[in-house]
Amino acid sequence: MIHDIMDAMKLEFQQIGTIYSPFRELGGMPIQPAAGKGIPGRVILDEAYTTGLLDLEGFSHIILLYVFHRCSGYNLQVIPFLDTSLHGLFATRAPRRPNPIGLSIVQLESVERNVLYIRDVDILDGPPLLDIKPYVPDFDPAGTVRTGWLEKAREKIPDRKSDDRFTGDEVSRDTSQEHS
C-alpha cells in the first residue's frame, strides 16, 4: 500500500543556484567539511532568490543541500572512502545513492548580493544547489553519539581524501542487484 503511494508520487526540486569549489575531479577531494578545513568556495544563488538571503550573514555556518551532479546509479552495499570493508549504503555517506542529495555544513565568510563566500568546502565543483539552511547548534543537539563502523575506521584510514571509487567504476558492488 505505502509502496503504491510512493510509486505515484513525483518529487520535483528547483535548482536555486550553483556551488563552486576548486575541486574539478573526485580524486583527492576532502571527505566531509572537517577534512576541507580552510578551503574556499562560493555559492552563486539565482538572482530571483536574493531577497531570501536577508539576515543570513549573521550565521557563522550554513547547511548546503545539493545534487551529486556527477554521480549516477548506486549500489546498496559499498566500500566507503574511510574503510576497506563492505557496508550498507545507508550506513555511509557515499555519493552514489537512489536520490543523489549531498549535505555539507560550511563556514559562511560573507554575503555579497547573491554570492555567498564559504570555507571548509568538500564539494565537487558545479553541483546544483537545492537549499540553504542556517546551522543552529541549539536546534541540532547531538548529545551522546555513536558512529558505528567509523569508530574503528578512523584509526585504520587517517587520509580523508576521496578517490575514484564512486565514479561508476568503483570497487564496491551491490551484493543483491545493480542499479543504474
Top-confidence residue, 13 or 146: 13
DSSP codes of every residue in 42-96: EEEE-GGGGGGGTTGGG-SEEEEEEE-TT---B-SEE--TT-SS-EEGGGS--S-
Model pTM score: 0.78
Cα–Cα distance, 22 to 104 (Å, whole number): 16
Write the pLDDT tens digit of every residue in 46-92. Answer: 999 999 999 999 999 999 999 998 888 899 999 887 788 899 999 98
Neighbouring-strand partners of residue 161: 30
Q: What percent of the chain has pLDDT over 90?
A: 50
Query: What residue spans define the domains of the chain?
Result: 13-136+146-156
**Spatial CA neighbour of 167 closest among 94, 87, 91, 107:** 94
Q: What is the CATH number of domain 13-136+146-156?
A: 2.40.30.70
Question: Is residue 174 over pLDDT 60?
Answer: no
Instruction: Kindly report the number of other CB atoms within 10 A of residue 107's CB atom.
Output: 19
